[in-house]
Structure formats: structure tokens, C-alpha cells
Amino acid sequence: MPDHSDGAVRTRRRDLLLGATSLLGGTALFAGGVRAEDAKIKMRIGWWGSDDRHQRTLKLIKLWESRKPGAVMTAEYGGLIGYSDKISTEFAGRNAPDVLQISDNRESLIAAGRLLRLDDYIASGQLNLSDANRSVLETLKVDGKLYSIPWGLACGCFFLDATVFGDLGVALPGPNWTWDEYAEIARKISKAAPKGLYGSADIWAPAGTRAFYPFEFFLRQRGKTAFTPLGKLNFGASELTEWFTFWDDLRRAGAVPPAEVTALENGFETSPIITGRAAMYPINSSIASSLQGLTKHKLIVMPLPHGLGSKALPGPQYGPFVNTNMQIYVNADTKYKTQAVQFLDDITNDPEFGKIQLMSRGVPLSSKIAAMEMPDIAPIEQSMVDMVQFVQTHATSQYVAWPKSGSQIQDLMQRAHQEIAFGQAKIPNTVSKFFDEAGLIID
Amino acid sequence: MTPSSISEMTRELRRRRVRQWRGVLLHAVLLGGAFCMIYPLLWMIGSSFKPDSEIFTQLNPIPKSLDSINYARGWVLGTGVSFTTFYINSMIVCAGAIIGNLISCSFAAYAFARINFRFRRIWFAVMLGTMMLPFHVTIVPQYIIFHTLNWTNTFLPLIVPKFFAVDAFFIFLMVQFIRGIPVELEEAAMIDGCGRFGMFTRIILPLIKPALVTTTIFTFIWTWNDFFSQLLYLNTQDKYTISLGLRQFLDSSGVSSWGPMFAMTTLSLVPVVVVFIFFQKRLVDGIATTGLKG
Amino acid sequence: MGDNTAGYLFLLPWFTGLSLFMAGPTLVSLYLSFTDYNLLDTPNWIATQNYIKLITQDRRYHTALRVTLTYVMVAAPVNLAFALGLAMLLNAKIAGLSFYRAVYYIPSLLGGSVAVSILWRQIFGLGGIVSQILALFGIEGASWVSTPSHALWTLIILHVWQFGSPMVIFLAGLKQVPAELYEASSIDGAGPWRQFWVITLPMLTPVIFFNLVLQIINSFQAFTPAFIVSGGTGGPLDSTLFYTLYVYMQGFGNFRMGYASAMGWILLVIIGVVTGLAFLSSRYWVHYDDAK
């Protein structure tokens, strides 16, 4: 049973620790006393990230523990490299943390019943999602059920180098831009810029995962989805050909770099927008502040272009949707389901938690918390919030979750793009090969 | 002085000059090679003094200014955990692994190299076979064993197996070295009434010192750099080692701290280089004095 | 004490380790290779389906085999040649020996560091150092590390560059050659070249053999270089898709651990056969002093 009254129950020691962070504004009251059931709580929480996120998350844990004297939440965290392998092994050995962040293979874990279904807790009010955008929650559901909440919202987007736009006298687009306008701008920049600087980065990158979502957005703009509810592909050769041709034309026109330049990227640190080779760069918005930290140029965040050709299509035909890779889950094996769900609720709705986290994992799920944080954040993050809110208010059409093989289809897409970009196959061959191999994967 | 002895002298002089030139040439080649070898290190040290925004935009390895902020930011992380802990933990794991490997692998190697027991060839093949399966396919069952033993988040999975000769590499290395020692020595000792164990400790072990030194160097370096098994079995920061600490700076979706990562990588190389230099000296003055063979 | 008792007593630690930590996981992985194990659900027996699929259908698997074989055949011998050559040079009495040895070992220390991934791009990438040097001679460079036809070669160079470990083993081996042999042959009037062929090389054969076998095993299992440099993708266009990288992708990336196990066991057989051949050949060229 959730008991929000113990929000006031804190120990002196915890207060000192929290006071030192000076983020809590000294609202704490001393009430002493350890509740027997809290003292027995020994939970584990796992996440990945870098120093900034670690610091903030540890503060969240301290705040949470201070409200449950005696309870312990052990932090198991590190960098991204190897994180998902470790988590997978722990799941295989039935020793995964009670609460955890997962970025890969959630579909498999859900299918195997390893992640806690949250719907009952939402219904009973233990998890309050009333300040969250409906369309966002819809995109997270698997077979109509919710297993995770976003620990910060993000979306596939374009980063634009406003400095380059300014220097070359190219007008910045608005969030309503269409694919045709995008292509036009990319061409214009390539023409005006010195040799070696291209209008935009290509849509595929060797180490990125950005090849599939943009295509999914593109499909939705054509009234399609990537997958059927049964996990089959829900698009045909014509859509795929159109997509590949769009990018191939840009490549031939020199609006996006040739393949060997794109393949140089190994993570966004080495992306063309940082190495000064492109003025626009498609990737997930969650990296906004770190991307900005790597360059002295001013960056802004723009949603992916929409529309069919030059026509901007509103309503159900709006392609992009908010998709976040920072989601938090509860291990179905946990002994502390109530407490785990309560932690999820706290990080979603509690203003004190919000003040600690800010935008470290993306835009807060609760619109109230997001609005509260706006004055405290950097310009690039404000630009990110604007974009995410633009997308979540425009995205209305039904979303179909990926099947277990989704990530393999994404890999396939990546390689198909590369084949064309490196000139190793003609588009029609690549398209038919794509469907052949996808057939093998999905069976 | 006869003409022939004069021509002999000029020939000698010429030979000496050729030798000198050859020495200069040798050093020129070695130094040139050394530059190629060490360039990445120089580049990394250079990067460790750069702000993040310069690391990827400037190809020039020499930083514009020497700023040691990355070292300060890297050593004590924002979370309060410091590399002091990581160094101590790495040292513990390395020491355990070295002792374990030296003892257990030399025992096994002696048996394989010198004792003619039944099924020796088969067990030797099995031993080599343990190196041939890619480790990714045994990770999960191995994890389950250590989890069942309740050893996760301790150093035990990283140290205990070393006492049971799981590193076939070192067994095989020592086997090769033992087989290079003439058997006559042991035959003589056997006549003097020396038992198996005595022969092993008094004759074999001193003679395979180069192999033992090599084992020490490699175990240290590989354990120091090992990432995956340490990641798998160590969960909390108080148990973290250097290689886990170093990966902590990177985050594909957030604020990576490349500068501190390079700074700490540079520092993490110091013990390894020291160990290498110290022990490779042992390699040099190793066996030459024992005068066997021949 | 009989040979059997003594042998098994000395092997006791190894046997314990084998049965406690190695035999179980190994046999389990063999079993799993005949199942559809996905890390999370109880595995179902599917007989040889994984193997059949690998051999007859999986084009990426064939790519991985091809990439790995090229790597083994080129990188292993070149690496050994460098290691032996440098070990010979650094075994001589020249000034600054310790310095050279340490410096030549440094690349091997950096092995799995993330720094290498960035470094390799800055050396072999567009406008990288190699291109800049070639430009001095009027040759136009390319972005080798990101071109499918060249990327593997940059990894081969990476491997050759890290010849420190076999070099150290060669050095240790050279130390075991007794000085008396050289003295005796000097008196007989043998020059350094002849000494190399008659003394050094034969005395070194057990160590050469060791390094050869190790290079075969290790380069078949090469994982870290491709993982680091390609960011775990084996790209561009699968041109650096090493065998074990594909095992890892299938096992941990796609949760197809049964399939990955089958791949692992095929690799074991391949390495086993090649190593076996090396052992057979060793009778003809490896010189042991314990031969009775």
C-alpha cells in the first residue's frame, strides 16, 4: 500500500546529507522512528550513464531512503558499454536489480514475463500518470499494456548548427518543415559552404540506432506503420524504395556526405556536426546538452520533417512520435513491488525529485514538472523541451510496438542503407534483399 | 711496418666505421619505430589536457594550453567515489590473480611436461581446448555458478578460479619452457634421492624464471585491463576497479567526460608500465648465470 | 610414488578448476547449441537446426567466417614476424634497451582502451595523419577506416602494432638459450648469421611454436579490436564482422544464445583442427631438450 505520509518521516543524518546538496531548500522535518517494514527493504537499482546522471540519481536514492528510514536501495551503475550485457546475464541468472533502466531487448524481457506490468498500479492510483501525455503512454505499450515509464522523454530529431546557418545566410526552418524543404535546405548549404561541409548528415550511421525511427515516422506520414500488431512488416517495396531513393538523391547531389564520411562516425562525439562536416544531424534528442558541450557553435533542436513531399499533413498523418530510450522498469521477480512502483511514481510526479533530476534523462514525463523546471535549464535544453512538446501534441495516430525481432530489422535497415551508400547494390536489389532477409528474421 | 699490415689496419678501421654506422642506423630505425609505437600515448596525454570541445575538433595532439583540470575532475568523481578506491581494488584483484596463476599453472605445467601419467595427451588436449571456445557462450552458465555460490559483488569470481589453473595460456607457456630444460639435471637429482616435489621446487621452478616473470607481467596487465568479467561480477562502486572506473566517463546519450577519461587512462597506465619495466629487468638478468645445457 | 599418482596429484588444482568452473559451462553451452535458448525462457531442443541454419542460410555468418580467416592468415604471421625480429634486436647489447622494450610494449598496454577507437579514426580517417603524410608525397589519401574494402586492413595493422606480448615471450625464450652454446660456436668460427640458424632458431622453436598456437587461437577469437573500432557493429558493411563479434551480437544483442552457442562450437572445431595440424607439424620442426 502506498503511504505518502512517510514523505515527512526523515532522519537527521539523511537531512544533513541532503542539506549539503542544497537542492531541497530545507523543507525537511525531523520525525525519527524506523518503521519495521521499511527496515527490511533492501532493494537494488541499476542504470547506466555518466557522472552527471550518476550524481543526480544518487541524490534521488538518498531522498527516497530518507523517506523510509532503514530502507536501503543499493545503487548499481556504470557506463553504457556492457551495461545491457550485464543486465541480460543477470536476468538469465535471475539476479537482476529490482528497479532498472533498460534500453535494449525490452520486447524479449516482456515476452518472457520478466518485467512487471504496471496497469494495475495505475488503476489503483499507486502510479499516477495523469500529468503525462496520452500519446506518449500509448507508444510505450506492448499489446496494450504498460511495462515502463519514461525516465525522461526524447524523440528522434534534427540538430541544426545555427552558427553555420547564420554564416551562410540560410534561413532556419520552423518545426512545420517538410521533407522537401529539408532537402532544399541541405542542397543550399552544401552549395554555399566551403568544400567538405555538407548540408546534412546522412540518415544512417555505423554505431547509431537512428536508421529505423525516421523511416517509421516517414511510414506513418503515409498512413502506414512499421509492424503489424502480430509483428509482421507493414510496409511494402514502394515505401522502402521511396525512402532509399530520397536519401540516394541527396547523396548524389552532395547534400549529404558520401558513405565513407558517414561511416567515420563512431558515436555522436565523432558525428559530422561536431567534426564540422555537416550542418544538420539526425539523432535522438536526449543527447542535446552533451552534443552542445562538444562544440562552440550554437545548436538548436528541430523535429523531423513531416508531410508528404511538400505538403505538411496535420493530425493523424503527423509522423514523428515521442520515443524514449531512457525507460525505467520493475523486475517482475522483485520482493518489493509496491515500493518499486512508488519509486517510479516519485520520479514522475514528486517536485523534489524533479528538481534534482532536471533534464538529465530527457524531458520529464509530467508536464507539470517540465514546466516547473523550464527556468533552471540551458537554452539547448529549452529547445529540446519545445521540440518534444511540439511532437507530443501533434502525434495522434495509433502506434504499433515493435516485435521481439524489431532490433534485428533495424540492423538490417542499417546495412541496407550502407549497401546503397557504398554503391555496392542498386536500390531495387537492396529492397528485394531486405524483404528476403526480414522474412528469415521474422519467422 | 709491412704494406700488408697497413692494409690490414685500414681494413680494420673501415670495419670499425661500418660497425659504428650500423649502430647509428640501428638506433635511427629503432627510434623511428619507437615514435610510431608511442605516438598514441603522446596523443592521449595531449588529449588529457584538452577541454572536451577540442578533443574531437582538433586533430593536433598538442593541446593549446596545459590545463590539469581533467585530472582533478577525473580522480574524484562527482559522486564522491575516487580512483583511490578503484586502484586499491584493482591491486587486490591483480595480486590474487598473479599468486593464483603462478602456483596453480606451474603445478599443472610440470605434470604435463615431465610426468608420464596415463591419458596425459588427452588431458593436454582438453587443456588446450578450454582456450578455444569463445567466452561469450559460457558467460551465462558461469554467472549462474557464481551466483549460486553467492559470490556476486565480491572479488572471489575474479580470484579464486586462478588458484585452480583456469588460465590454460600460462600452463601451456610453462610447459613449453619446462620442455626446453634438459632432463639430465633431474635424472641426476633423482639419483641424489630428490623426490618429485623437490625436483619441481628446486630445479624446475628456478629454471623457468623467465616464464614465471612473463606470467606475472601478463597476468597483471590482462587483469588490470580486463573489463567484461569485472563488469559482470562487481556491482557497486566500492568494489569497482580501474577498468570499470574508466568506462564510467562515457555515455552515448548523455554528458560524456572525455577529458577526464583520457586523464585517468593515462594515469592507469603508470602502474602497468612500472610493473613491466621492473619485471622485464628480471627477464634480462634471469637465466644467464645458471649455466646449464650444452 | 608412481607416475600416475604424481601426475594426477600435480594436476589436482587444474582438475578441480576444470570440474568446478569450466566443464559445467562448457557442456551446458554444447547442449544449448542444440536448443533455441534465448536467455530468458526454458530452452527447447531443436536438434541441429542452429547448425543447419548457420551453414546453409546465414549470409552474415559466412561473411564473418571470411573476415576472420583473412585476419588470421595475415595478421597472425605478420605479428609473429615483427615480434621475433624486434625480440632479436632487443636481445642484443645496445644502449637504451629498457627504454626500447618498454616503448615497443606500450601499444599492447593500450589494447582494449576506448581511446584506441578514437585514435584509429584520427590516424586512418578522412584527413587523418596517414593521409597528411601521404599528401606530402603528392598521394591522395582516403578514409581507410570507414571504407568497406580497407577497414579490415586497418584492424590488421592494429593487431600487428600490438606485437608486445609475443615479443616478451620471445625475449624470455632467448634468455633460456645458454651463453655457452654461443661461446663454443664462436670458437668454432661461426658468424652471427650462422649462429642464428644453428643455435638461436632451433633453441627457440618451442617458444615459436607456443606463440604460433597462441596467435592462431587468439586471432580466431579476436573480438576487442573490431568491437572498439567499429563501435560493436562490425561495419562498415560487415567488413570487420569478426566471428566472435557475430557470436556476441547474436547471443547478447539478439538474445539468440542457442544460435550463438552453435557458432561457438563450430569455432572450437575449426580452431581445434588448425591447432591439431600445428601440433602434427611440430614433430618435424620443434626441438625439445627433453627428447629421449
**Average pLDDT of span C217-229:** 88
Is A48 in the same domain as A178? no
Contact B294 C178 (CB under 8 A): yes
Contact B294 C264 (CB under 8 A): no
Q: Is A243 in contact with A204 (CB distance < 8 Å)?
A: no
Which chain B residues touch C265 with a CB distance below 8 Å? 133, 137
What order of strands is seen across the sheet that includes strand A42-48?
A72-78, A42-48, A99-102, A327-330, A148-150
pLDDT band for position A35 (cuts 50, 70, 90) = low
Is A298 in the same domain as A344? no
SS3 of chain C: the string is CCHHHHHHHHCHHHHHHHHHHHHHHHHHHHHHCCECCCCCCCCCECCCHHHHHHHHCCHHHHHHHHHHHHHHHHHHHHHHHHHHHHHHHCCCCCCCHHHHHHHHHHHHHHCCCHHHHHHHHHHHCCCCHHHHHHHHCCCCCCCHHHCCCCHHHHHHHHHHHCCHHHHHHHHHHHHHCCHHHHHHHHHCCCCHHHHHHHHHHHHHHHHHHHHHHHHHHHHHCCCHHHHHHCCCCCCCCCCCCCHHHHHHHHHHHCCCHHHHHHHHHHHHHHHHHHHHHHHHHHHHHCCCCCCC
SS3 B2: coil
- What was the pLDDT predicted at C115? 74
Contact A50 B79 (CB under 8 A): no
Domain span at residue B18 reads: 3-70
Answer with the residue of higher pLDDT: C180 or A14: C180
A419/C144 Cα distance (integer angstroms)? 17
SS3 of chain A: the string is CCCHHHHHCCCHHHHHHHHHHCCCCCCCCCCCCCCHHHHCCEEEEEEECCHHHHHHHHHHHHHHHHHCCCCEEEEEEECCCCHHHHHHHHHHCCCCCCEEEECCCHHHHHHCCCECCCHHHHHCCCCCCCCCCHHHHHHHCECCECCEEECCECCEEEEEEHHHHHHHCCCCCCCCCEHHHHHHHHHHHHHHCCCCCECCCCCCCCCCCCCHHHHHHHHHCCCCCCECCCCCECCCHHHHHHHHHHHHHHHHCCCCCCHHHHCCCCCHHHCCCCCCCECEEEEEHHHHHHHHHCCCCCEEEEECCECECCECCCHHHCCCCCCCCCEEEEECCCCCHHHHHHHHHHHHHCHHHHHHHCCECEECCCHHHHHHHHHHCCHHHHHHHHHHHHHHHHCCCCCCCCCCCHHHHHHHHHHHHHHHHCCCCCHHHHHHHHHHHHHHHHC
- Tell me whether residue C12 is in a domain: no
Closest CA to A253 of A311, A185, A303, A194: A185
Q: Is C202 in contact with B203 (CB distance < 8 Å)?
A: no
- Alpha carbon distances (Å) from C57 to B160, B245, C15, C260, C268: 42, 42, 40, 15, 20
- Tell me whether residue C103 is in a domain: yes
Whether the predicted pLDDT of A116 surpasses 70 = yes
pLDDT band for position A241 (cuts 50, 70, 90) = very high
| Residues in Cβ contact with A148 at an 8 Å cutoff, skipping those fewer than 6 apart | A102, A106, A115, A118, A140, A327, A328, A329
Domain span at residue C85 reads: 33-110+164-285
Closest CA to A158 of A140, A136, A173: A173
**Average pLDDT of span C189-204:** 84
Contact B180 C289 (CB under 8 A): yes
The alpha-carbon radius of gyration of chain C (Å, integer) is 23
Query: Parallel, antiparallel, or unpaired: how do β-strands A99-102 and A42-48 relate?
Result: parallel
CA angle A15, A19, A23 (to 5 degrees): 120
**Nearest-neighbour CA in chain C from B5: distance (Å):** 22
Q: Is C267 in contact with B134 (CB distance < 8 Å)?
A: yes
Contact C251 B171 (CB under 8 A): no
Which residue in this structure is represented by grid cell 601478463?
Answer: B218
Whether the predicted pLDDT of C60 surpasses 60 = yes
Contact B177 C3 (CB under 8 A): no
Residue among B256, B258, B262, B264 with most chain A CBs within 10 A, to mutate: B256
* Cell numbers standing for residue A157: 530529431
**Nearest-neighbour CA in chain B from A34: distance (Å):** 25
Q: Nearest residue on chain C to B284, judged by CA atoms?
A: C175
Chain C interface includes B107 (CB < 8 A):
yes
Is A11 in the same domain as A145? yes
Residues, chain B, total? Answer: 294
Is A416 in the same domain as A386? no
Chain C interface includes B198 (CB < 8 A):
no
Contact A108 C231 (CB under 8 A): no
A128/A366 Cα distance (integer angstroms)? 10
- Tell me whether residue C123 is in a domain: no
A69/B275 Cα distance (integer angstroms)? 47
Which of B16, B42, B70 is the endpoint of a domain? B70
Is B90 in the same domain as B136? yes
Alpha carbon of residue A58 to chain centroid: 21
Residue among C29, C60, C227, C255 with most chain A CBs within 10 A, to mutate: C255
- Tell me whether residue A174 is in a domain: yes
Is B84 in the same domain as B37? no
Contact C21 B38 (CB under 8 A): no
CATH (domain of B213) = 1.10.3720.10
**Average pLDDT of span C19-35:** 95
pLDDT averaged per 10 residues in sequence order, chain B, 294 residues: 70 80 84 85 85 69 77 83 93 97 96 92 94 93 94 96 95 91 82 84 88 92 90 93 84 68 88 86 53 38
Contact A108 C40 (CB under 8 A): yes
A281/A159 Cα distance (integer angstroms)? 5
- What was the pLDDT predicted at A269? 79
Contact C7 B111 (CB under 8 A): yes
Is A98 in the same domain as A199? no
- Tell me whether residue B290 is in a domain: no
Contact B140 A89 (CB under 8 A): yes
- What was the pLDDT predicted at B256? 65
**Nearest-neighbour CA in chain A from B267: distance (Å):** 19
Residue among B132, B196, B283 with most chain C CBs within 10 A, to mutate: B132
- What was the pLDDT predicted at C110? 79
Whether the predicted pLDDT of A32 surpasses 60 = no
Is A98 in the same domain as A130? yes
Which residue in this structure is represented by grid cell 685500414?
Answer: B10
| Residues in Cβ contact with A372 at an 8 Å cutoff, skipping those fewer than 6 apart | A351, A354, A355
Q: Work out how many domains chain A is built from and give that number.
A: 2
Residues, chain A, total? Answer: 443
Of B171, B196, B281, which is closest to C6 when you measure between CB atoms? B196
* Cell numbers standing for residue A427: 536500390
C84/C97 Cα distance (integer angstroms)? 16
Q: Nearest residue on chain A to B150, judged by CA atoms?
A: A95
Q: Work out how many domains chain C is built from and give that number.
A: 1
- What was the pLDDT predicted at B287? 42
Which residue in this structure is represented by grid cell 600435480?
Answer: C10
Instruction: Report the 10 Å Cβ neighbour count for C232.
Output: 17
**Nearest-neighbour CA in chain B from A330: distance (Å):** 18
Is A23 in the same domain as A95? yes
- Tell me whether residue A17 is in a domain: yes
Answer with the residue of higher pLDDT: B34 or A103: B34
Which chain C residues touch A83 with a CB distance below 8 Å? none
Chain C interface includes B254 (CB < 8 A):
no
Is B47 in the same domain as B184? no
Contact B117 C25 (CB under 8 A): no
Whether the predicted pLDDT of A411 surpasses 90 = no
Is B225 in the same domain as B189? yes
* Cell numbers standing for residue A111: 515476452
- What was the pLDDT predicted at C230? 81
Is B245 in the same domain as B273? yes
- What was the pLDDT predicted at C292? 42
Q: Average model confidence (pLDDT) for chain A?
A: 85
Alpha carbon of residue A231 to chain centroid: 22
Alpha carbon of residue A4 to chain centroid: 30
Q: Is B252 in contact with A267 (CB distance < 8 Å)?
A: yes
Asked casually if ipTM beats, i.e. exceeds, 0.95, the reply is: no
Whether the predicted pLDDT of A28 surpasses 50 = no
Of A84, A206, A407, which is closest to C235 when you measure between CB atoms? A206
Is B89 in the same domain as B59? no
Q: Is B203 in contact with B210 (CB distance < 8 Å)?
A: no
CA angle A120, A122, A123 (to 5 degrees): 65
Looking at chain B from residue 124 to 143, which residues have their Cβ under 8 Å from any Cβ of chain C? Answer: 126-134, 136-138, 140-142
- What was the pLDDT predicted at A187? 95
- What was the pLDDT predicted at A47? 93
**Average pLDDT of span A184-194:** 95
Is A169 in the same domain as A307? yes
A132/A140 Cα distance (integer angstroms)? 12
Domain span at residue A29 reads: 4-152+324-392
Touching chains, A (3+ CB pairs < 8 A)? B, C
Q: What is the dihedral of CA A213, A215, A220, A225, to 10 degrees?
A: -80
Contact B40 C20 (CB under 8 A): no
pLDDT band for position A282 (cuts 50, 70, 90) = very high
Q: Work out how many domains chain B is built from and give that number.
A: 2
Which chain A residues touch C146 with a CB distance below 8 Å? 206, 259-264
- Tell me whether residue A398 is in a domain: no
Whether the predicted pLDDT of A15 surpasses 60 = no
Of C41, C126, C254, which is closest to A408 when you measure between CB atoms? C254
Q: Nearest residue on chain A to C41, judged by CA atoms?
A: A112
- Tell me whether residue C143 is in a domain: no
pLDDT band for position C84 (cuts 50, 70, 90) = very high
* Cell numbers standing for residue A370: 517540465
Is A52 in the same domain as A200? no
A138/A146 Cα distance (integer angstroms)? 8
C170/C157 Cα distance (integer angstroms)? 20
Touching chains, B (3+ CB pairs < 8 A)? A, C
- Tell me whether residue A399 is in a domain: no
Q: Nearest residue on chain A to C250, judged by CA atoms?
A: A408
Which residue in this structure is represented by grid cell 699490415?
Answer: B5
Touching chains, C (3+ CB pairs < 8 A)? A, B
CATH (domain of A144) = 3.40.190.10
Contact B249 A51 (CB under 8 A): yes
Is A123 in the same domain as A205? no
**Nearest-neighbour CA in chain B from C114: distance (Å):** 8
Chain A interface includes C125 (CB < 8 A):
yes
CA angle A407, A411, A412 (to 5 degrees): 115
Answer with the residue of higher pLDDT: C75 or C1: C75
- What was the pLDDT predicted at A119? 95
Residue among C3, C5, C22 with most chain B CBs within 10 A, to mutate: C22
Contact C121 A267 (CB under 8 A): no
- Tell me whether residue A397 is in a domain: no
SS3 B76: strand
Chain A interface includes B135 (CB < 8 A):
no
Chain C interface includes B19 (CB < 8 A):
no
Which of B70, B102, B128 is the endpoint of a domain? B70
Is B94 in the same domain as B180? yes
Answer with the residue of higher pLDDT: B141 or A263: B141
A356/C191 Cα distance (integer angstroms)? 76
- Tell me whether residue C7 is in a domain: no
Which chain C residues touch B196 with a CB distance below 8 Å? 1, 6, 10
Contact C146 A105 (CB under 8 A): no
- What was the pLDDT predicted at B291? 39
Q: How many CA atoms lie within 13 A of A16 on its CB side?
A: 2
Which chain A residues touch C145 with a CB distance below 8 Å? 264
Is A350 in the same domain as A279? no
Contact B228 A85 (CB under 8 A): yes
- Alpha carbon distances (Å) from B283 to A241, B203, B208, B269: 64, 18, 11, 21
Q: Average model confidence (pLDDT) for chain C?
A: 88
Which residue in this structure is represented by grid cell 624464471?
Answer: B209
Contact B79 A51 (CB under 8 A): yes
Whether the predicted pLDDT of A210 surpasses 80 = no
* Cell numbers standing for residue A378: 540551458
Whether the predicted pLDDT of C206 surpasses 60 = yes
Which chain A residues touch C147 with a CB distance below 8 Å? 260, 263, 422
Is A232 in the same domain as A167? yes
Q: Nearest residue on chain C to B157, judged by CA atoms?
A: C21
CATH (domain of C225) = 1.10.3720.10
Residue among B252, B257, B264 with most chain A CBs within 10 A, to mutate: B252
- What was the pLDDT predicted at B162? 96
